[in-house]
Amino acid sequence: MTAVTTTTPTRVRPARRGFPFGRAVAWTVMGLIVLITLLPFYWILRTALSTNAGLSADPTNPLPVDLTTSGFERALGLQSAEEAIAQGGAGGGLDFWRYLLNSVLVSTLITGCQIFFSAMAAYAFSRLRWRGRDAVFGLFLAGMMVPAIFTLLPNFVLIKQLHLVDTLLGIALPTMFMTPFAVFFLRQFFMNIPKEVEEAALLDGAGKVKIFFRVVLPMASTPIVTLGVLTYITSWNDYFWPLMVSYSDSSRVLTVALAIFRAQTPATGVDWSGLMAATLIAALPMLVLFACFARRIVSSIGFTGIK
Amino acid sequence: MTIASSSPPSRLPAGGATEAHSTPRTRRTEAGGNGGDGRLAAVFIAPALLGFVVFLLWPTLRGVYLSFTRFNLLTPAEWVGLDNYVRMVNDPIFWDSLWVTVEYVVINIGVQTVAALVIAVLLQRLTQSAVLRGIVLTPYLMSNVVAGLVWLWILDTQLGIGNEIISAVGVDRIPFLADETWAIPTIALINVWRHVGYTALLLFAGLQAIPNDMYEAARVDGASEWRMFWRITMPLLRPVLAVVLIMTVIGSFQVFDTVAVTTAGGPANATNVLQYYIYGSAFGRFQFGYASAMSVALLVVLSAITILQYRLTRAGRTDLG
């Protein structure tokens, strides 16, 4: 996240005539917004690097109290139970790498398949000619209106009947093939590809399948990356559905594990240090992913205005 | 009506468009060649259609069906007619959780929309910095679970820095998440923190579609920023704002994660939002039929609100060119 956050806003356009006072106020407000946005992140880090004893003794210290990595060790399950309890944690170990791997697998599976299948559908909806196309597309659009909660219970029943409860596939399946939004988003973009480009490829003897892979997909790389990263973030952060579907470590993802870590921590004297360390570890992959693609995403997020 | 038909920022935002587009067109015609592409289209559409039918269309119909049954997952669903609905109407906890949800949505949407608008306008009128836009978006990268935990810590009554600051100023400590009156507003604001940046960027994209010469011309006429905001920005942003509002309202009605990690519905059902109650009925008490009936009710409420909002805000029409 450093790449995104270290630079303070210094790029001011040459001052326009008038209202320097108004601009100063506006910048102050902006500064305040940035502060409220970013301070919690610092506070996570500061807490994670403190000891629980230090936190209660000196709660307002802006720096880590008794600088230590024991919170991270606890979150990663590197400490023995006795050691963890002595430092204010819960005795139960957490198989963090397992959850991390599960999260990566699920999110990658969902994102990869969903974007690819949605792109195929979007291609059929935008650049192929077939009967009933508009009717089917209309149905897809109507599907955008159904709130997620509504399909969750019946989907759970279905996943249960398919004996996929407590599997990674069970978590991924409902959003693996498409979301109406992804189809709509990509179709919108494919429609803007000039006909001539496709015609030229046809003249060169390329089939429509080849055109899809060699012309349409590469041309749409920017929206595909944007959509991909947003989908990845969404599926990584999803909590409700994985909570419903997974019961054991074998399919537990980070968000669910984190909530369980929270539930396990002693009710009197919460293990804040360990909890914040776990929080940071859970959040870090998305921050890194975002740091890599931030500029692209931030400048093309307008596409998603229809989400 | 669909939200999508009003697609606000259909133009490609600067920098987002691929360089390959020398002559972008919006023609609906397909590639050349005579006759249809039926067979190929069938292959291309198959996976998405399968997913759509199995995990969206069928569950929707099945959810409606289940709401008329008694179903506990173990034995086959048993048709009970309107029983679940009768029970729902007579269930004070249902009405209470609906009320709590509405309270949450009003606070969440009210604060978030105003804040997002302020941020979007500042981002547009003050600077074009992509770094700043990136910063504003960072909380959106967190899961609701992470956001909930962080604020749970910051607002902790004993040790939270938030309460430390409050007591340093001389005000009594506030049990933000442990008090019946504070809990819902607090959860609403936590979710504002997480989502406001994304909403602001959507509005920002809408603002980018307003031609700059309008502001230039207004400035020549001596209009103040304040006046330009009300006379240019607001009217021209209205369709985008309307769509963003519809989306965010639908999203915020489905609040669950933050409640689950911070208060778990408490204290004394004060944060028992509808989705949390539905979850509890299904997985705590295995009343899938009743939970489905409440989901149908939520769907009806959401549809009504969406249609109403759409009408009231004339989301489908634009004032721009």
pLDDT of residue B199: 92
> pLDDT tens digits for B67-95?
999 998 888 888 998 999 999 999 999 99
Structure-model confidence comparison of residues A34 and A226, the more confident one? A34
Question: Which among B13, B73, B296 has the least Cβ separation from residue A300?
Answer: B13
Considering only CB atoms, A5 lies closest to which of B133, B135, B296, namely B135
Q: Which carries the bigger pLDDT value, residue B186 or residue A97? A: B186
Domains of chain A: 106-252 (1.10.3720.10)
Please tell me whether residue A89 adopts helix, strand or coil conformation. Answer: coil
Distant-in-sequence, close-in-space partners of A181: CB < 8 Å, separation ≥ 6: A144, A306, A307
Nearest to A129 among B2, B36, B45 (CB): B36
Checking if the pLDDT of A118 tops 90, the result is yes
In angstroms, the separation between the Cα of residue B210 and the nearest Cα of chain A is 13
- How does pLDDT run across A221-273, given as a tens digit for each residue? 888 988 899 899 999 999 999 999 998 888 999 999 888 888 887 777 788 88
Asked if the model's pLDDT at residue A297 lies above 80, the reply is no
CB A253 within 8 A of CB A245: no
State which residues of chain B have pLDDT below 70: 1-35, 314-321
Residues of chain A contacting B129 with CB distance shorter than 8 Å? 9, 11
Residue to test with chain A: of B131, B167, B229, most A Cβ within 10 A: B131
Residue of B nearest to A118 (CA): B48
pTM: 0.84
Chain B residue numbers with beta carbons less than 8 Å from the beta carbon of A22 are 225
**Residue from B67, B128, B141, B195 to probe the interface with A (highest A Cβ count within 10 Å):** B141
Chain B residue with minimum CA distance to A152: B59
pLDDT grade for A88, boundaries at 50, 70 and 90: low
Is the pLDDT at A195 greater than 90, yes or no? no
Which of A13, A144, A233 lies at the smallest CB-CB distance from B3?
A144
Chain A closest CA to B258's CA: distance in Å? Answer: 10
Q: How many CB atoms are closer than 10 A to CB B21?
A: 15
From the list B28, B37, B63, the residue facing A191 with the nearest CB is B28
From the number of C-beta atoms within 10 Å of its C-beta (0-12, 13-18, 19+), residue B60 rates as middle
In angstroms, rounded to a whole number, what is the distance separating the alpha carbons of residues A245 and A249? 12
Contacts of A110 (CB under 8 A, 6+ apart): A172, A175, A176, A231, A235
Q: Distance from A91 to chain B by nearest Cα, in Å? A: 20
How high is the pLDDT of residue B11? 36
- To probe the interface with A, which of B44, B164, B250 has the most A CB atoms within 10 Å? B44
Q: Say which residue the tokens 């369709």 belong to.
A: B239
Given this model, what pLDDT does residue B138 score?
A: 92
Q: Among the residues of B83-179, which ranges form H helices?
A: 83-89, 92-126, 130-141, 144-154, 161-169
Residue of B nearest to A183 (CA): B48
Whole-number pLDDT of residue A228:
92
